[in-house]
Structure 1
Amino acid sequence: MKKLGILLGILFLQNVWAQEEKCGLKKSEFNIYKVNAEDIKCLAKSTDKKNSIFFTFARWCEPCLYHLPNFKKIEKYYNVDSYVLLIDDEGSKMTQLAVDYVQKDYPDAKIVILKDKEKKNGRKYKDFLKEITPGQFEVIRDMSKYIVLNQSGEVQLVTNWKDNKEYPEWKDDTSTIKRIVLPLLEKK
């Protein structure tokens, strides 16, 4: 049983490395890959899964902390590549806190970080959202978003706080996930 676990771990890491190598991703100082909208689309195209899902996260974002466990449950039951997408500056203390927080409960989580811009104007996340969000969805600069892409790298969904019909009960995003995220995914 132990050998099977080791073998599965090796196969998992080989798949992750192959995707990241194919997309030409570079690592930040915290040993996580730096991405932009095009890199995310490349990762989605490089997987053998039907969908990829990215969850925007920051340690200081209270909804993110509440919603992370639901996000991580998705990969248990659905055939997806899932990534936690950090939005703080690449080398910031907040980034390290976010990495530590995610890895504490989810040591195998795939964590990526939004690339810093050459000119720091505080708009990297806002600009990313404008670039990644298809026209049929409203661009809202909130956190704890689910971004679903298909294997062709097409963005199928970008959630926002308005999708939570139970608002102001914002701490639980279960109904939002069931209503608009899961129908796009393939069960295991």
Structure 2
Amino acid sequence: MKKITLLLLCCLYYSFSAQEIKCGLSKSEFDIIKVGVEDVKCLAKNSNKKNTVFYTFARWCGPCLYHLPQILAVEKEYNADVYVLLIDPEGSKMTKLAKDYVLEDFPDAKILILKDGNGGKTKNYKNFLSEITPKKFENIRDMSKYIVLNKEGEVQLVTNWKDEKDDPDWRDHQPVISRLVLPLLEKK
């Protein structure tokens, strides 16, 4: 059993590393891969899965903490790569806390960080969302978003807090995942 687990971990590492190399990605101070919009699209195009889900996350975001286990569970049951996309600045203390928080309970989680730009955390995230969000979706700068891209690197979904309007308990994000994200994914 240990050999099988080790083999699976090596395959996961190699697969992620191959995508990283193909996309020419670099790492931040805390050994987290830095991405922008084109990098996210490149990861989706080079995935061996049909769809790729990026989940925006920050350690200080209450809904992000609650929804993290639900979205990471999707990768185990569906043919999709799932990435946690940190939005704090690359070298920030909050980035380190977020990375440690995710890896504590989910050691196999694939973590990315939004590249630092010239505008600070708020402006960088706003610019990223403006560029990644197709016109058919409302662009709202909130957290705990699900961004789904297909194998061609096309954005299929960008959620926002309004998607939960029929679900008054923000702590239960399962309805949003079930209603919006899962229909885009293929079961294993």
Instruction: Provide the identity percentage.
Output: 64
Q: Which 4+ runs in 1 deviate beyond 6 A?
A: none
Partner Cα distance (2:75, 2:158) in 1: 18
Quick one: which amino acid aligns to residue 146 of structure 2?
Answer: Y
Deviation at 1:39, TM superposition (A): 0.2
Q: What is the DSSP-based 3-state SS (H/G/I as helix, E as strand, rest coil) of the residue aligned with 1:90?
A: coil
Deviation at 1:104, TM superposition (A): 0.5
Deviation at 1:165, TM superposition (A): 3.4
Once the two structures are superposed, the pairs formed by residues 87-126 of structure 1 within 5 Å of their partners are 87-120=87-120, 122-126=122-126
**How many residue pairs were aligned?**
188
Quick one: which amino acid aligns to residue 144 of structure 1?
Answer: S
Partner Cα distance (2:158, 2:38) in 1: 15
| Mapped pair 1:168 → 2:168 | yes
* Counterpart in the other structure of 2:65: 65
**8 Å contact 2:88–2:121 — kept in the other structure?**
no
TM-score scaled by structure 2?
A: 0.97
Deviation at 1:11, TM superposition (A): 1.0
* Counterpart in the other structure of 1:138: 138
**8 Å contact 1:165–1:176 — kept in the other structure?**
no
Partner Cα distance (1:23, 1:84) in 2: 17
TM-score scaled by structure 1?
A: 0.97
| Residue-by-residue CA offset, 1:129-155 (whole Å, 9 max, x unaligned) | 000001100000000000000000000
* Counterpart in the other structure of 2:31: 31
RMSD: 1.1
Q: What is the DSSP-based 3-state SS (H/G/I as helix, E as strand, rest coil) of the residue aligned with 1:70?
A: helix
* Counterpart in the other structure of 1:78: 78
**8 Å contact 1:28–1:90 — kept in the other structure?**
yes
**8 Å contact 1:85–1:112 — kept in the other structure?**
yes
Q: What is the DSSP-based 3-state SS (H/G/I as helix, E as strand, rest coil) of the residue aligned with 1:123?
A: helix
* Counterpart in the other structure of 2:6: 6
Partner Cα distance (2:87, 2:41) in 1: 17
Deviation at 1:161, TM superposition (A): 0.5
* Counterpart in the other structure of 2:55: 55
**8 Å contact 2:52–2:151 — kept in the other structure?**
yes
Once the two structures are superposed, the pairs formed by residues 143-162 of structure 1 within 5 Å of their partners are 143-162=143-162
Deviation at 1:76, TM superposition (A): 1.4
Q: What is the DSSP-based 3-state SS (H/G/I as helix, E as strand, rest coil) of the residue aligned with 2:41?
A: helix
| Residue-by-residue CA offset, 1:76-104 (whole Å, 9 max, x unaligned) | 11011110000000000000000010000
Unaligned residue ranges in structure 1 (runs of 5+) = none
Unaligned residue ranges in structure 2 (runs of 5+) = none
